[in-house]
Amino acid sequence: MSIIELGDSIPPFTPHAVSMSLPTWTDNVGYEEGDKRVTDKLSTGYPRFFIHKSIVAFADDIVAKYGTPDRKAMLFPSSKTAQRCRSFIKAKAEPSLAGDVKIIDLFLDKRKEPSKIIAKVSPSISAVIFHKDLFPIAKQYWQHSGDGISSRRAEFCHSLFSDGKLVYFTPPQPMVNQKRGPKRYQRGSVDQTSPNENPQLPLRNDAAESRESTQFLEERFGRNLDISLVDNAKLALRRRIAGSLVGEVDLSVEPSRKMTSNSRGVTGLSDDDVYLYPCGMNSIFNTHRLMLESRGQLKSISFGFPYVDTLKILQKFGPGCLFYGNGSSEDLDDLEARLKAGERYLALFCEFPGNPLLKCPDLKRIRKLADTYDFGVVVDETIGNSINVHVLPYADVVVSSLTKIFSGDCNVMGGSAILNPEGRYYQHLKSAFEADYEDNYWAEDIMFMERNSRDFVARIKKINDNAEAICNVLQAHPLVKEVYYPKYSPTKQFYDDCRTPTGGYGGLLSFTFHKKDHAVAFFDRIETAKGPSLGTNFTLTSPYVVLAHYLELDWAAGFGVPADLLRISVGVEDAEDLKSRFAIALKAAEAVDS
């Protein structure tokens, strides 16, 4: 494959791509240092770090109408999410600037846009408007929480705003639903009628609505699906995550009312125990927030070297956390000693396996400690995935970034949280989730995610096999110092404790060379996509530590995570072709010493 040009989207020509191309080591360093040579070429980026240009343009237009030239705005899908951002800004900002942070709530004016098709997707935007000097603080909230709007939502709502159809007013109250049966199975049940809606507006006949629906989907979704099927798409996603739905599904057929089975290793799991979020970090953010709400203001435990924003959430939102960056048996010994001495904690958060060293925590021991000393367990299964491992039996909540391998196409964000119905905190957590949960997952993103995930199960075995083949190539080469992969990890037993009968060891691996120069030469030569993210259907290479921890490289090295580590997310390409590409890149590393 040809190398994707610096700054172009990954995949190419994808306006809502989740990754962007940084094809050389120098490009990655330049990105972290804000080098204009790099930043000026970025067409997009990972959405929680790079605010999509369509979102920026919409925010600028809102400020132009409702603010002043010294203001900026962050956009959120609801007033509740905007209020959380405002509270974060006020808590972190200088008092002289913190007092003037306002929220503008924009809703569809159905007098100007009477379409039931448009109303079905419930377009709304809540803008937090603040002094421009507070932007770095607002950006922290955007990055850590994942509460911000998606680029597809921004494009759609911006168009309505420009047409004067998305306006600043108090939203109408929904009419009492007179239809029988669960709301999620009722077509059109989310439609709301404003009390002040013009009664003289003509009624739309079925043929007109059908034509509008087709046009809407062709222009907005690029999928030949009726918008009334979005609720069925959500249910299909929840059941696929719960392990009861595999493969293709006809969204036009009303699903059965009850989920009959699951493959998650627990009994009693329902699709109602699966909650969808706009991105994976948002599922972690909300799980932590609702843990605090249901169990009280206690410190959490971050166990193992974590994804950067998970640790930031635990440190910045609430009373803080106890951090065990190695995630070792010795760390569990220390934790047990603290617990025996009377220390109490909210929950232990961990990844299975961890990123980027692919080590696994001892979930069996953690579960026993949690049951003995009364704390929750939250496991991020993004890298392991439910086809390879069953972690729900050991967790109270399992979170995942659907953006990664579940989607695979690198063109849509999503996240999920699963409550374990056999968990000791299930009733408390269920009550908290039900009382607080907002469905902020934008309809277009749902449709893409549902389509992308239909072959999720079929992709996993190919990716598992390809990853092991690449590991074999790397392990056999004398310049390679160490390969990190669950199958070859000192924590393999902990992985195997949770591995499914047909499960493999996943598609993510990392490795180091004996010399940094070898790593740089290999990275610059390897013919794969090169940028942030993981779990793509195509192989994606990254100098992960440079991107995730550039300002704290020594800190990361203190936990055994070297700065020149390379991380490979292996795709579904032909195995022999992949091995050939890696062999060529290894030759480039060899040439450094010649």
Under DSSP, the state recorded for 279 is: S
Interaxial angle between packed helices 575-591 and 456-475, expressed in degrees from 0 to 180 and rounded to the nearest 10: 30
pLDDT of 479 > 70? The answer is yes
Q: Is 128 helix (H, G, I), strand (E, B) or coil?
A: strand
Q: How far apart are CA 398 and CA 287, in angstroms?
A: 9
How far apart (Å, rounded) are the C-alpha atoms in residues 492 and 335?
A: 22
Q: Is the pLDDT of residue 405 over 50?
A: yes
Q: What is the DSSP letter of 182?
A: -
Residue 169 token pair:
């007013």
pLDDT band at 338; cut points 50, 70, 90? very high
The string of pLDDT tens digits covering residues 290-312 is 999 999 999 999 999 988 899 99
Q: Return d(Cα 103, Cα 116) in angstroms, integer.
A: 27
Whole-number pLDDT of residue 227: 65
Q: In the numeric block, which tokens belong to residue 485?
A: 């992969």
Nearest to 93 by CA among 134, 139, 129: 134
- The H or E element that residue 594 is part of is none
- Residue 219: DSSP 8-state: I
Between residues 589 and 121, the one the model is more confident about = 589
Residue 30 tokens read as 């330049």
CB 531 within 8 A of CB 544: no
Burial class (CB in 10 A: 0-12, 13-18, 19+), 293: middle
| Confidence tier at 284 by pLDDT (50, 70, 90) | very high
Give the pLDDT of residue 195: 31
Closest CA to 324 of 287, 361, 379: 361
Amino acid sitting at position 277: Y
What sign for the dihedral angle of Cα 411, 413, 414, 415? Answer: positive
Task: Answer whether residue 183 shows pLDDT above 50.
Answer: no
| Neighbour tally for 495: CB within 10 Å | 24
How far apart CA 398 and CA 283 sit, in angstroms, is: 9
- How many Cα atoms sit within 13 Å of 513 on the Cβ side? 20
Of all helices (H) and strands (E), which one includes residue 46?
Answer: none
- For the segment 384-413, the average pLDDT, to the nearest whole number, is 97
How far CA 578 is from CA of 6, 158, 267, 445, 523, in Å, comes to 22, 42, 40, 31, 15
Higher-pLDDT residue of 117, 296: 296
Tokens 């799991």 locate to 269
Percentage of the chain surpassing pLDDT 90?
81
CB-CB contact of 323 with 311 (8 Å)? yes
- For residue 527, is pLDDT > 60? yes
Q: Which of the pair, 59 or 252, is modelled with greater confidence?
A: 59
Q: What is the mean pLDDT of the chain?
A: 89
CB 306 within 8 A of CB 352: no
| Least confident residue range of 145-149, 241-245, 509-513, 538-542 | 241-245
Per-residue pLDDT, averaged over 356-378, amounts to: 98
Helix (H, G, I), strand (E, B) or coil at 380: strand
Which pLDDT value is given to residue 19? 97
Each residue of 211-225: pLDDT tens digit? 333 334 334 444 445
Q: Distance between CA atoms of 12 and 55, rounded to whole angstroms?
A: 20
* pLDDT tens, position by position, 26-58: 999 999 999 999 999 999 999 999 999 999 999
Higher-pLDDT residue of 490 and 247 is 490
At residue 3, the pLDDT reads 79
Q: CA 326, CA 555: separation in Å to the nearest integer?
A: 12
Confidence grade of residue 357 (pLDDT, cut at 50, 70, 90): very high
pLDDT at 177 over 90: no
- Residue 283: phi, psi to the nearest 5? -70, -35
pTM greater than the 0.85 cutoff: yes
3-state helix, strand, coil in the chain (%, to 5): 45, 15, 40
